[in-house]
Structure 1
């Protein structure tokens, strides 16, 4: 983590360093893979030398079989194969290990950052980082490191041997290599900018595909795909334009580079120059043969450099996103052993202000109230007034930007995460169930709970009857995000989960917002069981459900504008009286009234 965090924000031009720094957790295994890749390249050179010595021995002693050199060539071939196989085995194992390590670190980081950061990044963005971006590193780590060793060790060793055999032909081979490198530089001109445009265009296509598929019900009902498919088509056209531009700008240089660095140009140069030297008596035929065997490997070994550059370009954005998430700001927590525990379940907002981002307007402005232990506090107001923000600040999904929140007399910022979660349970309108059994979903947060305790919580949440009627009872899978259950059933399982946790402070955010009348009755009975003896903070738009609350807090535009009991607030002119009048009008509304109004 330290290496990854250190490399999280390097200067421009350090892209290669970022690419290699992210492999720090598997550095030893990568070095072993690179070492084996170098051994493989050297073994190939040794094989070529042994073959040349075999020809020399046959020339000097035609009647004798040069077993030593032949066995040496065979050993070199086997060693090259085994070393190459071992290099790629090590690099692939390292890639799989790195995937596991990075995903674990990313998940740990997500558990330590403010929820606001996660929501700003979004589920799609997180999925891309944790799954797609980490997966993109696999090819880079698995395939690049042995190539990297080959690209540097083999040319140097080959050059040394060629100069030892004949310095003139060695210079000729280097001249061909230099010409190929110059052509390669032309192929890589503007490579960084074009790679960025290519990656951006590819991601826009992926996003358009996901949007088109996920929005298919809406598409079929409203625009038959003309608008949404049009965006997909535009993304494809932009992607094609980038590819065409890249090919047009660098295609000729790339083809020229491949042609120069292929074996034939180097062989042609060495063949003609060597033939002239042999005819002039300036070069031994066996040395010429050895140079012919070795020279092609020098140019060919440079080609992996182009592949490496392409791999790095492909994963550069992935590496940057992974580094950014690993460097995300952490939610401050008290030092080990300094966490404070509250004296009771009272909740206090002391001059609290909050904004979701530095450039955004305040969602809450100087809010102060007290919820005494065991009381029910209802938060009401128009949409966007700040009610849900209050609810989400209590479990510290975000930190306040002004003032403080206390539970039992202790600032929640002075509590450790575990101590705070032992105090607060919450039930939101957006339920989430894991793709696991219903029993395990209820047991979430209390993994040691017995089956009897799980069933008791389900009974209290009015969920036992429908669970028992399922094919596998409590072992029935809930499906991805609870897709196999209805909304009311998912909500009651969420309430059962909160009942099992039995925490002294309970936060409810529109817990019955999407329930039908039958489910709503069951949910109200379940919530009655859940809230017994607890300090309850509830957010609701259904004013009928809060008439018996110990206190009602009325919010408007982020400010607390009224506070009191139902009858007291109703007797005062103000926001609550207007909300109640609107509520009463909505309760009296019928379809017949609407038709009558339309006719009039």
Structure 2
């Protein structure tokens, strides 16, 4: 009985280096441009104060006009100068904030791209490209908009009411306290009315994501829906998402309507104007207030009330940008693969698994349990087994998509953890079953295997991959764009482009997720010829789905439930009547099946 010594929680390989962040949230993320943001906020605040001072000078001008010997022109000129200065400072603040936003966007995207190049490839597979794309595109763009537009607004919205209050206290403290009291009461009412809005915001975001997923599912599944479904189940999920979104939106609008009514009734300029008019009238008729002071208080007080309105929107902007900032920081904190300080290179092209155990994150059971086998240099080894046996996991540990939990994976007698990533990529090439091409020329997609390759070398690799003929038949030959994810090419053509890329890269070790699994008969012959050229003279580890393609393999490793059940050559394994023999019988039975009337009626 084979007793495993693996423990998912043990082993240096199971630990990734994690990026530690000094703090969380939007302000921490803006640290690289914080001085520019402070400058932008300061300029916006000074611009607001200058404009406010110009308004205050109107009272002085009115007082001058009421004097027997009026001299309003110096004050009028000063008011014009202050108005111009306010406009200039405000505009300058927006320029500085936008430059800071572009700078921060560049820093974040470059940093995230660099960080993603250091995280395990397995992490990207588990997280999903959609999530990473959303963070690097949408969330970074949201933060850009916040820095560019909202930060100057914060400076202006904070400075204006404070400066207004100070001026009003200087002009007449009684009217100042009257205006302030009204605004405090209104702000308190709004805060009380908005209780629970944070939870509603969270529910709103959740429902938006749910409805987005339902829309994508409904549209993408349309061929299946129209063929097999009357639309009840798929449309029902879509309608359920719509209903949930509508309910949350209605509740949010109900809460927002209360706060909006309070804002209009109490925090708006008109109520403040009315209060200052009545209060000022009492003081004016009592002889304790002159008309110019009253006029100045009316102008400043209504302006103070109006300047508070943007603060309500700013809270929403901060919350929205803050959520995106947290997602950016989550991506920044993704674990990175430790890089060896030394530089150890593989001695040859052999591959060995030595008592390897591996457990996926957040799983308590092992995906691989005490797996050991050796692949001699220049040989072909096939990995076979039932679905979920661990074939893909074994293959992806060789180019270090993840680090093992226990044991070691070696290439040329060197532990892959002791080989620098760039050196490992020069020794191991991985050909995925799911191909990916960039929206670039065919030549550029092939040249990714070796950027410095000449056109002649690219063509030679394409010929070896049986791709040259269809490439030259394209409108612009090798200069033809492949389209987004290679959409302009068929599946077989995309696969041959990736094989050409691997041939050009010329790695001594090739890991293949069998490329012919979903090929049509016409493409299969070309793919088999291409793979034969790719495998020539190299160490090959191939995940086998069609057992007929690996009968002549030098070694077949049979995996079952994360363990090596048996290994050997085809004939020996069939004779052993074990797991492989059962798989082979099932495969032969499936290959011999033909569609006939008897088969159809029996089903």
TM range (shorter): over 0.9
1:265 alignment counterpart = 271
Matches within 5 A, 1:1-20: 6=21, 10=24, 18-20=25-27
**Equivalent in the alignment of 1:433:** 437
- Which secondary structure does the structure 2 equivalent of 1:562 belong to? strand
* 565-574 vs 581-590, greater mean Cα deviation: 581-590
Q: Deviation digits for residues 129-180 of structure 1, max 9, x if unmatched? A: 2222223334322322122112221222112111111111111111112112
Whether 2:442 is the aligned partner of 1:442: answer no
SS in 1 for 2:572: helix
Which of 352, 358, 362 aligns to 1:354? It is 358
> Do 1:195 and 1:313's aligned partners in 2 also have CA atoms closer than 8 Å?
no
Give the structure 2 partner of residue 247 of structure 1: 253
Pair 1:405 & 2:409 matched:
yes
1:316 CA displacement: 3.6
SS of the equivalent of 1:175 reads helix
1:463 to 442, 460, 467: 467
1:340-359 deviation per Cα after TM superposition (whole angstroms, max 9, x unaligned): 11111111100011122232
| Structure 2 Cα separation of the partners of residues 251 and 230 of structure 1 | 31
Seen in structure 2, the aligned counterparts of structure 1 residues 445 and 596 have a Cα distance that, compared at 3 Å, is: closer
What is residue 88 of structure 1 aligned with on the other side?
Answer: 94
Structure 2: distance between partners of 1:119 and 1:449? 29
Task: Quote the residue 1:113 is aligned against.
Answer: 119
Question: Contact 2:26–2:326 at 8 Å: present in 1 too?
Answer: no
Does residue 1:31 correspond to 2:29, yes or no? Answer: no
The aligned residue for residue 598 of structure 2 is 595
Are 1:454 and 2:458 an aligned pair? yes
Over the residues paired in the alignment, what is the CA RMSD in angstroms? Answer: 2.0
Aligned to 2:4: none
Answer yes or no: is 1:195 the counterpart of 2:169: no
Using the TM superposition, name which of 434-443 and 238-247 deviates more. 238-247
Cα distance per residue 1:486-510 (max 9 Å; x no partner): 1111111110000000011100111
User: What is the match of residue 369 of structure 1?
Assistant: 373
Q: 1:319: Cα distance to partner?
A: 2.3
CA distance in 2, matches of 1:91, 1:5: 28
* Aligned position for 2:285: 279
Q: Distance in 2 between matches of 1:596 and 1:68?
A: 103
Alignment deviations for residues 271-321 of structure 1 (CA, whole Å, 9 cap, x no partner): 222222222221222222222221122222222221111112333432222
Matched, 1:223 2:229: yes
For 1:140-539, list aligned pairs within 5 A: 140-335=146-341, 338-539=342-543
Closer, same or farther: CA 58–368 of 1 in aligned 2, 3 Å: same
What is the total number of aligned residue pairs between the two structures?
585
Tell me by how many angstroms 1:559 deviates: 0.9
Contact 1:263–1:296 (8 Å) recurs in 2: yes
TM-aligned CA deviation for residue 376 of structure 1 = 0.8
What is the match of residue 15 of structure 1? none
Q: Distance in 2 between matches of 1:200 and 1:5?
A: 28
Q: How far apart in 2 are the matches of 1:225 and 1:72? A: 71
Please tell me whether residue 76 in structure 1 is matched to residue 79 in structure 2.
no
CA 1:215–1:133 in 2, change beyond 3 Å: closer, same or farther?
Answer: farther
Deviation track 1:487-535 (CA, whole Å, cap 9, x = no partner) reads 1111111100000000111001112111122211111111111111111
Relative to structure 1, the CA distance from residue 598 to residue 222 in structure 2 (aligned partners, 3 Å threshold; closer, same or farther) is closer
8 Å contact kept, 1:199–1:314: no
- Which secondary structure state, in structure 1, belongs to the residue aligned with residue 481 of structure 2? coil
Shift of 1:553: 0.8
- Runs of 4+ off more than 6 Å: none
Corresponding residue number in structure 1 for 2:558: 554
- Report how far residue 599 of structure 1 moved: 6.3
- Residue pair 1:506, 1:536 contacting (<8 A) in 2 also: yes
Displacement of 1:73 after TM fit? 1.3
Deviation at 1:7, TM superposition (A): 5.3
Q: In 2, Cα distance between the equivalents of 1:41 and 1:5?
A: 39
Instruction: State the alpha-carbon separation in 2 of the partners of residues 580 and 181 from structure 1.
Output: 76
> Mean Cα displacement is larger for which, 244-253 or 380-389?
244-253
More contact order relative to length (CA 8 Å, sep ≥ 6):
2
2:573 to 564, 569, 573: 569
Q: Deviations over 1:458-488 (max 9, x none)?
A: 0111111111111100011111111111111
CA shift in 2, pair 1:599/1:48, >3 Å:
closer
Give the superposition deviation at 1:360.
4.5
In 1, Cα distance between the equivalents of 2:175 and 2:21? Answer: 47
The corresponding residue for 1:56 is 63
The residue number in structure 2 matching 1:14 is none
Query: Whole-Å Cα distance in 2 between the matches of residues 354 and 5 of structure 1?
Result: 25
Q: Helix, strand or coil: the match of 2:518?
A: coil
Give the CA deviation at 1:437: 0.7
Q: Is the 8 A contact 1:461 1:492 kept in 2?
A: yes
**Residues 146 and 373 (structure 1 numbering): CA distance in 2 closer, same or farther, change over 3 Å?**
same
Task: Please state how far the C-alpha of 1:374 moved relative to its aligned partner.
Answer: 0.8
Alpha-carbon spacing, 1:99–1:341, altered in 2? closer, same or farther (3 Å): same
SS of the residue 1:295 aligns to = helix
Q: Any gaps of 5 or more consecutive residues in structure 1? A: 11-17
1:5 positional shift: 5.4
Q: CA deviation at 1:596?
A: 5.7
Contact 2:48/2:156, CA 8 A, preserved across alignment: yes
SS at match of 2:367: strand
Q: Is the 8 A contact 1:116 1:356 kept in 2?
A: no
The answer to whether the Cα contact below 8 Å between 1:570 and 1:576 also exists between their aligned partners in 2 is yes
